[in-house]
Structures are given as C-alpha cells and as structure tokens.
Structure 1
Amino acid sequence: MNETSLHIREVVDVIGGAPSMRDSLVRDSWRRCVDQHGLDPTRRQRAHVLPDSRLREHRDPLESLIRTARFGLESLYRQVAGQDYVVLLSDKRGISVDYIGDRGREGALHRAGLTLGSDWSESHAGTCAVGACIASGEPVVIHRSDHFDATHIPLTCTAAPIYDARGELAAVVDISALHSPPDKISQALALQLVRASTLRIELAHLMASFRSEWILRFSRSQEFVDVDPEAAIAIDASGRVVGTTHAGRKLMARALGLDWRSMPSLLGRSFSEAFDVELDELPRFTRALPTCDRSIRLRNGERLYAHAAEPHSSSGGQAQRSAAPAASRAIPATLQGLSGGDEQMDRMLVMAARLADQPIALLLQGETGCGKEVLARAIHDSGKHSGPFVAINCAALPETLIESELFGYVPGAFTGARARGRKGLIEEAHGGTLFLDEIGDMPLSLQARLLRVLAEREVVPLGGSRPIPVNLRIISATHRELADHVRSGAFREDLFYRLSGAVLRIPALRSRRDLGWLLDRLLQSGGRKSNGALRPVRVSRAAREALEAHHWPGNIRELVNVVELARVLCNDGVIELDDLPALRAQASESTGVDAQTQAGDGASKLAALLRECHWNISEAARRLGVDRTTLHRRMRRIGLVAPNRRPH
C-alpha cells in the first residue's frame, strides 16, 4: 500500500474514533474537515488561486498591516533563505495576501498553492498550518502527513497568528516548503522564527497605529526591554488601554486573573487595573532612567521591566503643548461644541472634522447614550452637504417596517399601503446624510439590500422594478462590536467593510475629563423662573461631588435626565444632594461619609483612607467604588498631594 493510501486510511480511522499518535490539534482539524466542512479524504483538492480582481478584496482591508509587515516578512525570509521555504501572509479567511519565494521555482510553488492569492482556509484546503492557526488562534506546525488532503503530504507548513490592536485575529504568517525531513521536530526552529516574526510585526503595527499615545513595552529582561520587548500596550491620555499586542493581552489577562481566550475586550479599561502604576508615573519608564530602575509590578505580583514611549511630537514639548489649541482651531464650531477640552474627544473630533467633507462611510461606536446621533448631526452640519439629515433607529422598528421605511414602496405594494406609495428614507436623504442608528440590529435579510444601495448608489422601492439613483452620505452607529457579529454570522462581512470606511469611537462619559464642563453647560441651558425672570441653577459642593463620582452607565443621556429631575426638585435655585435621588446612596458610599457632613470632613476622611492604602490611588479608588480620574479630581480640589509628589 502506497503512502497516499496509508494516509487516507489513517484519516478515516481517526475520524471513526481510532486511537492515534497525532497531535490533538491535528486530530480535531481532521474531524472538522469532515463534520463541518464536508471534505472527503479520498478526494484530492487542487490548489485554488484567486484572480487579481478577487485578491484585491482581501488585500485592501489589510493595506496598512501588509505595509507594516513587509519588512518583517523579508527579514524572516532571509533567515530561512537557502532552505526552500516560502513566506506567506494570509488574511483571517486564509487567502494569501503577500508572498516571498524563489522566483526560479514559481511553477512548482504555484501548483502546490504556495503563492499569492492561494486559498489555505481549512474549509477548502483541509488541515494545513494557516487553516489550523485560524481555527486555534495559536502557532502551529502541520508537517507532511498531518495534512488532511493527501495532495499536501510532501509539504511542511508552520504558521503563527497576528492579532490587531483590539485583540482580534487579523492575519497569519506561514513558512512552507515543498520538501522536508520526515521528523516533525525538524520544524522546531521554524516555529520559533515565525513566532518571533509575528511578535515584531504586531509591535510595529501597534507603534505605527498609536503614535499619539503612550506605548508601554515589557520584557522579563532589563537588558532587552529597550531593544527586543516581548509585549506592549497603547495607553491614551486618560490612562485607558486603546490597543495591545497579543502578548500584551495575555499579560494583562494574567494580571487580572482571567483567561485571555474568554476575557472581554480590554479597550477602554484603565491600565492601572493590571499594573501597580498610575498614568502620571509613566515618564519614569522612559529611557531617562536606567533599565534596572524601570521594574513594574503586575497586580498578580509578577515583576517585569518596562519601557514607555512618549506620545509622538515632531517639534518637541512646545509642539505638544500647542497641539490642543491648534486642533481646536481646526474643528468647526458645530463639532467643537461637543468637547470641553477632553483629549480623547478632541482627537476624535479632529478626525471627524477631516472626514466631514469626504465621501467616506462613517461608523460611530460607543456606549448607549454617549451622543452618537449628536455627533452624526454635527458631522453633517460641518460638511458641505446641502441635503437633509435623515435618521432612523434600526432597533426601534420591527423588521417589516424597517424595509418599507428605508426603501419606500410603490402603490399597491402590499395590503395597507398608501394609494400613492411612499418615498423611503434612503431616497429622502438624497443629497444629504442618512444616519442608521443601531445598525448592529438590522436584520440579515435587509443587509443585502442595503449593501446594494451602497455599491450601486440606487434604490428599488418595495414592489417596484425601476431603480432610483441616490447620492448620499451614510453614517451608521452602534453600541455593539460589529466585528463580533460578523464572526457569529449575524452581520454581513462585506457590509461591515462598506460601512466602516472610517471608525470613530466616542469615549464613555466616565472616562472623560470634561464632566464639569458638560454639567455647567446643561445647567446654563435652562433655569428656574423667579418673578418671571430666568435664573441660572447652581450645584452645591456635595451634589457636584456626587455627580462627578457617579459611574454614568447611561452616559450623557443619563446625565441630562439626572440634571433635569434635579432642576425640578431643587429649592432656591441650588441643586443639593437630596435633589439627586438616583445618586444619593452611591455618593454616600463612594466617599464613605454621611451626606450631611460630606462637605465638612470629606477631606480628612479621604486623607485617612489614602494613608491607610499607603497612597496607592488604585486601591483607594477601588474601596470608594470610583474611577481613578474621579479620585484625582477630588484630591486636586481639596489639595491632597501624595508624600512622594510633594516638593522638598
């Protein structure tokens, strides 16, 4: 019996439940090939290479990553040069979007599928390194007869994943050879090389994507922390994590005592939850200090060495100090009015201003109540759109109504339709902006029709046959992570890419530093009538502290409701703690002080708590149940300064 027949028999036996010495990862993949993908081990598959027109669909979304990864791929290829390997970069669907190989062997490599545009998804090629890496999320070696398809028995393939800054699988690096030694252990060095290559690519991509943020890099070795770090995270001006390498995600998971595979998104969480360091301490981890003085402790007790790269500034400190005013001048008044100087908001609004006149579909992401529709209207008003702003909430209408609302209908299209028909919201938005709120709740059946509108720039009403040309700008919004819905099949991937030409993330109210400005603006927008005159409403110190300490799960919408209720309840034009019934209990718990004595001895009690916590701001904030930003605000307001921060 030849090698091919023996291999097919082994695959059939393993799928039938027979014991095997193969790795569990290989056995699981073989079973998926049959049970999930319907592949037949007796039927050999030819290599499938996409034409250039199809390949562009896979390359374009990864353009930035491909550009960043190219040097890493070339470096990897130089390390394996002369050993007949090719280097492939595949997207998360298994399509090779970049390739480096021996041009003298292109014919044989193309026939084996080791070329640009080849499909190495498990559903097509069976068990292979790229497909198994996508399925497991881990580095893998699929050596010779580990492959499901007997066509690939001569190949050895080693792959490792590249994760994007949000912790999602973005691409796979693979090195493959047409021939290799029989023992799988021969690929141990190849596995280490590919792992090291993906780590460097992730780090380079993180550094390029977050040049305006702090980048904190880590190593177990003080000698290598500056030159070859093992993990990294990006941190914004409020101390929130905005991006990580995969190793950085695992590191934070260990610190928090969580499994990285099931851990919710790190984005938006304070980095001090995982590290015993505050934002204002980051400068001590720059190269200004020797590496031996840059140790950092994780919350689980683990110690590493760190290197902090400061936010990029091309003209030194003065440029950094003047960046905010310059950015403010670049923002139209309609957008400028949405921020009171919060750095996260300002950066996002600068981007929104640049995109206001561009024909790019925008996706606004943020928690419920954070002001997505207000931002969409401001973008529309800031641009040169002469047409209307038309908004529809995809979650507020039943599926049958969404279709008729969006696309309209012709006379007699269905029972109960108006005799004259009805123009849809898409057509009404012609020349202006269509805002699709809660796009993540749009039924799958309508997503294909919306995709056609975006692609063809025309709409066909229900019951109609004649397309109507439309020229409009699409802004969509969601509080969901659409990428998760794409993975689960609840949202079309092609529509996701059409809608997310640019993504603007609106920070949650609890992470913004302009809460006081927002509060004052709401108070100035109305007042209590006294003798026919409009009198402004003020907020007592205790009430303001309670408002600033609140977590604001409902964001700005909740703030507006709380202020409006307090306006009605307050006496003599002053909002007191008793006028905040929803926050009163939380405020008392947060400060550990009775509401009646909060203003008088809050400072002494807070100082006592900080001393008890040895001035560990994170620990004190946890005990109070407040955000560290809120605690820093309170300390500044009452003049509390940690002993190690006091002037000598």
Structure 2
Amino acid sequence: MAVTTQVSEHIKEVQSVIDGSQTSRDEVIAASWTRCIDDYHLDPVVLQEAYIVPHTQLKEHRERLDKLIRTAKYGLDALYHQVADHGYVLMLTDAEGVTVDYQGDASLTWELKKAGLYLGAEWSEARAGTCGVGSCIYTGEALTVHQSDHFDATHSPLSCTAAPIYDVDGSLAAVLDISALHSPEPKASQALTLQLVTSCTRRIEMAALMNTFRKEWIIRLSQSPAFLDVDPECAMAVDAEGRIIGMTHSTQRLLSRIKGNNWRQPRVLLGSLISDFFNLDINELPALSRALPTEERLLATIHGDLWFAHAIAPQPSSIRRRKKVVSGSLASLYGDDAKMADLAIKATTLSMSDLPLLLNGETGTGKEFLAKAIHESSSRKSGPFIAINCAAIPESLIESELFGYADGAFTGARSKGKRGLIEQANNGTLFLDEIGDMPLSLQARLLRVLAERELLPVGATKAIPVSFRVLAATHKSLPELVKNGSFREDLFYRINGATLTIPSLRERSDILWLAETLITKLVDRTVCVSASAGYILERYDWPGNIRELENMLQFALAFCEGNELLPEHLPEQLLNPKRLTSRETESAGGTLEVLEACDWNISKAAKVLGVDRSTVHRRIKKAGIKRRYDTD
C-alpha cells in the first residue's frame, strides 16, 4: 500500500509541475518533465518497465562505438572498482541512450536487468522519460536524477548520475552513467558520484584525443602547474598551420568563452587558428615542451588569462610502419599464406595491449598455438601462460580447479588449500579454451573476477587480487549461444575486446610448408614431401585441420623408412574423392594431375578420382595423353 501511495503522490507532483505550480525540484528536472509531456507525449500514469534492445541492434550500436569502448576500457574498469562496493552499476551508453558497455554485481543480474541497469537497455528521454542518461543527452551537461526525480515512477527507486563524453570534433559521442538500485534519500549524497563520473569522462576524452591525433601537435592546459602533466583540464590538437582540428569538451567550452560563442556550436571553433584565442604562434610550440620547467610554460589567452601549457610534438610516421612488423613468435605460425599474414599483423598489434581477445576458428586450427604466440609477444611474456580447457574439466571439479579452495573447504581437500588456475595466471595470460562450453553458473563467477580483478577461492572469506590478460577461444558462435541463453551476454562483451578468426587449413596456401614444419618436430631426421604426396595433401579438405594433418603425418612417417614421403605412405582416407577440394577430376588435365601424383599407378589414380580403372584408361585415350608407364 505504501508503494502505491508513493506512486500516486509522484504522479500528482508531475502533473502539478506541468500545470505550472511551484516546485522544489531542480530546474533541469522540471524542464525534463515538461518535455516528457509536451514533446514525447508520455503519460506519468502509464508505468513502463525498462526496454532492452534486441541483440542484433545492440551489436550495431556497439560496433559504432567500438573505438571509444576500447579507449575507455581502462578508465571504466578503474572507476567501477572504486564504486562497486557501494552498490553502484556502471553503464556506458551511446548518444541514443543504448547501453553498450556495462559493469555490475553478477549476483544481482535479475534485479539489475529488470530495472534497466543492464547491457542493451535504452535510456533516452523519449523512451524512459526523465532519467540520468536521457536528460544528460538532451542538456549535454553532467547531472544526477535521484529517485523521484524520474518522470516514470517505475524508476523512482533508482539514483542515476551521468556525464557526457564528447568526440574530438565536439559532437556528443556517449554518456557515462553510475546508477544504484538503492541509495540514501538526500540528493546531496550523490555529489561525490557526480565528481567521479565527470573526472572519468574528462580522462576518456583526453585519451581519445591523444590516440586520434598522434601525428599532430597536442596542447594540454591546466590552471595548476602540479596537475599539468598528470591530469590537465583541457587539450586540443593543432595542425602544421596552427589550426585547431580536435579538442576535448572542456576546451570547447574554454574557446567558446574566449570568443563569446555558444559552446554548442563546435564547428565554429574547428579550423580556427590557435592565435585567434591565445597569444601564441605555431612556431612557438616547441618552447612549451617539457624542456622547460612546468612553472615557466605559461600561455596567455587574448584576454590576458594565464594557463600552464604542455605542447606534445607529432609522433614520427615510423610508428605506423612498426605496427606492420610481425613478432617472431607469431611469424613462426605460417609460411606464405596471405590470410595468416594478415592475422599475424593484427595479432602483433593487439598483443601490445591488455585488451581481451576472442580467438575464433574450427577445431584443430591452432587456437592455443596462436594464444601462446600472442602471450610471448606481449608485455606479460615473463609471466605464466595458463591454459584452461573449459570443456575438458568435469563440471563437478571446474569451480575448485579454476578458483582454488581454502584450507578445509570440503571433505578431501588438501590441508593447506589449493591455488586455482586463475590465480596461477597472475601477472601473465589466462587462456580459456572452448569457453562456449563453460557452465552458466561458472560464467557468473568468472564475470565477477574479470570485472573486479579479484577472486574468492571456494570456502574462503577474503578475496585475492589478480592481474592477468584474458584470451578466450571457441569453435562455436558465441552470439548464437547468447541468443539462446546458454552464454551470458555481459561475459561475451567482457572477453570480446577484439576477435581474431583463424582460417581453416583448407583455406590456407601454405599446407606443404606446414607439413614440413611439423615433420621436423616429429622426427629427428630429414624427410621431404614428394611432389605427388604434396599434391594429395594440398587437395584434401582437412576436416580436422592442423590436428588431423599432424596425425596423418605421424602415420605416414611410421611407414616412411627413407628420406622422402610418398603417396603410398599416406593413410587411405586421403585418397577418398569425397574429401578432395577443388579439382577438375573429370577433365583431362585433372586426370593427368592425379596420374602424376600417383606415379601413373592406374589403380591408385582410379581410387583418387572415384572411378573404375577402365574410365581412367578411356580418359587417357580420349585426351591423347602419353603414358610414361602403367602399373596396377
């Protein structure tokens, strides 16, 4: 009854404000309530639960914001770690209000999803009424929508604090929101939350500017010399002619104040000369580098206001060329195959960061070999590489194997407890193979570890901090598993910072190189692959990929007593015509190639072609092929 009364009172208040009555609500809240009625035609009497967009739409929204999500990842993780213990959820939405990244307590998933504090939730004003994200998008300002500030009484238990993130061109790119299911009643209790979220968005904008304009001059400004090099308030990018080509939002406001312009019109600022705002010429930028003490790097606006400045010179173009160099460990995974070369270039670049990677590929394509090569090319190469096959560990043991257990956690446990595989990966790389087979119950616990960077062993009361890079692999379609509910959507986006797809063996052009590389590992003598055997290896479709190739070679080497691997050493299934890839077996050219590969053994050639011996003879005669010899 109390809840119903509260809802009724809230609806009456909304209606009275719309009618023009005096209110103690903030002006921004009252204005939003009016928009909800006049512009969006929402009815405060009609209560609506949060709306979560379909998975396909969410994927599109995430892809459009992919670069920003990757740029913001470190800042978001650090912020969530600060607020998680206080019951807050962190959401990153795009400019349309759709949540594209999310961090929250996995044990409260049902309640958070119902409240809309979840991945894919849409928080535009037109959809949800007055709310942190939607009102932030409309005003372009950081704000708090606290409890009954919400237009829709469905959301009145929530407290939402949001701040905008602007692109380098001054347009709104995203909104960062910190929300809580429950919070103290006074709105002033969210003051620190507002400060945290605005500070985080400023740093994200700064990182985006630095990443976008590496080859241009960047000028960073601060009113305090102590914070200039660590956390400046403003930053802008300037081209070789001294024109402003990018800026953070605080810079957008500063430049607008200097000129007396509306800060909501960033295009007026872009392309302007730096000298239109500051007493500075482009040739004077080197004087603002770190060669001078911070206190001496002063820059005056055209009105005489002083700022401490730091000019960062353009980075040389050799950085781009260096990214195309494949590291030694990754270069050893392929021969002259173009697809593998492209994969190795991407993997080399991505190995330089701690971005979580998802390795996709058919069974047997070498996902663990790729994961090891990425680890060995990374800054964590001195740490351990711990591989976990999520499909191989019995479900009854997987929790204790992954998380370990405390002393006396259960009957039969070791007296001193046991370190789990995740803890063993500390300061290194954790490789989760076949992650698509991980039970849902364990997915929730893994998500918490990845979000909070700490784990709780079975039976323990104190969490253990951990730091590792996550690489995951699967031969399944994780988006499909998410769609049918067998894989957590939030975990999918947590492990899928970027996807690397490994081509199947049948798609590769370096099969012979790979075969000879494997042979050197399998035997301690020199064995080369004959042209005829190589022809067969290249035309087989390899359903088991590299794993099958290695098994086939082990079989062949068992029968090869000399230094040349011949067709007769190969297993019978390699001669199965149903398993051969593109070949013109019915043409004269195709028949001739098979005959050459089989050393003109008619019976063997007939078996490869899937015909009888008389058909082979007929094709030879029809094509006028001259036989070198003919044996059965």
Compute the TM-score of the two structures, normalised by the length of structure 2.
0.49
Radius of gyration: which is bigger? 2
